[in-house]
Amino acid sequence: MTNWAFKLFLTFSLPLALQKHLSLVFNVFYSISSLYRSIHSISNFQPLEIYPQLWH
């Protein structure tokens, strides 16, 4: 009976822990990618702001 309860506990707690871990990793990856994207967009937008000043 205890072995069955332990197996049940493992089957329910392990995916939950994995899901939490995966969501944490995904959140970190998403924040890094959004930060990279914002830096990339800033580096892309700066020439556009500088060039009209040079032209005018």
Q: pLDDT tens across 26-50, in order?
A: 999 999 999 888 877 766 665 555 5
* Stretch (H or E) spanning 23: helix 2-55
Buried b (16+ CB within 10 A) or exposed e, 10-45: eeeeeeeeeeeeeeeeeeeeeeeeeeeeeeeeeeee
Q: What is the pLDDT of residue 5?
A: 85
Residues in the chain: 56
**Which pLDDT band, with edges at 50, 70 and 90, does 17 fall under?**
confident
Type of residue numbered 35: L
Q: What is the pLDDT of residue 11?
A: 87
**Which pLDDT band, with edges at 50, 70 and 90, does 52 fall under?**
low
Say which DSSP state 1 is in: -
